């Protein structure tokens, strides 16, 4: 798979890279046009998107904003979107390579972001419960390997799982090829599910806060996820594949089931808004380093004494 940078005239991503101390770095995407241009480290600070031949370009929107005036809009229409199953933006794996597969020495990361889901999505029966991926980490090829069977797996993803017409929860998948020493041996099948569960409810018509603390290692991995301030999972175990390159995060709609329901007029579009994306690492990084600040009364108090020390 080939990745390209978004032209400046097409998408006005803004990035500020803040060094709070020598031991904590934070990337902050707030999607405000023209914000801190001197801090750009590449086209839009390395926030790029998959090859447009397989992706509908996200956009900056003033329809919703957690802070400032803008947010990232991921919109799909089953008939009108160029690629109706995918509208995603990713953090450049080359400009910001994340650490992985070094055992207990592997660096851990904190990731925070806010998502607005405008409304409950129509369900289709008898297919019924449909899963929409809205955030994931992908793998890249090992150094020297081409894009192909050993890349593109999702060691970690979050999905909206609508249980009834007006209720739903977030489903977490963690995958690792724990029984094999190389990806060539492990694939196919590409993915090995090591943890899959409901980690908490989400809300429509308002901002939802997500905070993730994660280490990418097939032996010494771990993952914690908070939804609106509430800890949904505290997992220790494999969180990565053998034989692949560095991971990278992706935000936006990804609907692998979408093209199978083109004859159903009740399900024709998906809209998500993202704001206040942060990624932190280092000894001083923590929940508070990345947690979006939701309007008063919509988020629980921040957890205490839950920072991971490597």
pLDDT digits (tens, 9 = 90+) for 259-275: 555 555 556 788 999 99
Joined together, the tokens standing for residue 214 give 């994660």
CB 201, CB 169: distance < 8 Å: yes
Q: How far is the C-alpha of 55 from the C-alpha of 83, rounded, in Å?
A: 6
Residue 189 preceded by cis peptide, ω within 30: yes
Of the candidates 164, 101, 112, the residue with the CA atom closest to the CA atom of residue 135: 112
289 pLDDT higher than 90: yes
pLDDT value for 55: 79
Q: How far is CA 236 from CA 101, 195, 289, 309, in A?
A: 15, 10, 22, 14
Contacts of 39 (CB under 8 A, 6+ apart): 15, 16, 17, 45
pLDDT digits (tens, 9 = 90+) for 119-157: 887 655 545 456 789 999 988 877 777 666 555 678 899
Joined together, the tokens standing for residue 51 give 């090859």
What H or E segment, with its residue span, contains residue 24?
strand 24-29
pLDDT value for 187: 44
pLDDT digits (tens, 9 = 90+) for 160-195: 887 777 888 999 999 887 655 555 544 444 456 778
What H or E segment, with its residue span, contains residue 271?
strand 269-281
CB 293, CB 275: distance < 8 Å: no
**Strand 24-29, strand 47-50: pairing:** unpaired
Mean pLDDT, all residues of the chain = 75
Percent of the chain with pLDDT over 70: 67
**Exposure string over 239-272, b if 16+ CB within 10 A, otherwise e:** bbbbbbbbbbbbbbbbbeebeebeeeeebbebbb
Q: Which residue has the higher pLDDT, 2 or 248?
A: 248
pLDDT value for 45: 42
What values do phi and psi take at 101, rounded to 5?
Answer: 55, 45
Q: How far is CA 106 from CA 24, 101, 109, 215, in A?
A: 15, 6, 10, 7
Domains in the chain with CATH codes? 13-290 (2.60.120.200)
What are the strands of the beta sheet with 131-139, ordered from one edge?
3-4, 47-50, 86-91, 247-254, 131-139, 156-164, 167-175, 193-201
pLDDT digits (tens, 9 = 90+) for 184-234: 544 444 456 778 889 999 999 999 999 999 999 988 999 999 999 999 999
Total H helices, total E strands in the chain:
2, 17
């Amino acid at each position: 798979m080939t990745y390209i940078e978004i032209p400046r005239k097409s998408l006005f991503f803004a990035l500020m890279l803040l060094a709070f101390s020598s031991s904590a770095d934070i990337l902050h995407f707030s999607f405000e046009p023209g914000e801190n241009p001197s801090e750009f480290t590449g086209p839009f600070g390395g926030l790029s998107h998959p090859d447009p031949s397989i992706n509908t370009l996200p956009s900056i929107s003033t329809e919703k904003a957690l802070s400032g005036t803008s947010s990232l809009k991921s919109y799909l229409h089953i008939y009108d979107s160029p690629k109706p199953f995918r509208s995603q933006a990713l953090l450049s794996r080359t400009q910001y390579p994340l650490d992985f597969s070094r055992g207990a020495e592997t660096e851990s990361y904190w990731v925070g972001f806010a998502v607005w889901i405008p409304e409950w999505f129509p369900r289709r029966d008898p297919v019924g419960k449909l899963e929409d991926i809205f955030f994931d980490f992908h793998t890249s090829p090992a150094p020297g390997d081409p894009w192909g069977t050993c890349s593109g797996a999702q060691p970690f993803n979050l999905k909206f799982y609508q249980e009834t017409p007006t209720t739903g929860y977030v489903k977490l998948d963690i995958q690792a090829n724990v029984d094999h020493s190389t990806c060539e041996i492990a694939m196919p099948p590409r993915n090995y599910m090591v943890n899959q569960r409901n980690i908490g409810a989400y809300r429509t018509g308002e901002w939802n806060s997500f905070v993730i603390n994660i280490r990418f290692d097939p032996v010494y991995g771990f993952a914690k996820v908070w939804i609106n301030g509430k800890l949904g999972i505290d997992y220790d175990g494999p969180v990565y594949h053998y034989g692949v390159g560095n991971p990278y995060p992706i935000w936006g709609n990804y609907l692998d089931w979408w093209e199978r329901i083109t004859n159903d007029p009740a399900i024709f579009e998906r809209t998500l808004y993202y704001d206040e994306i942060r990624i932190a690492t280092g000894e001083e990084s923590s929940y508070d380093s990345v947690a979006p600040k939701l309007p008063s009364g919509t988020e629980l108090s921040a957890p205490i004494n839950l920072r991971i020390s490597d």
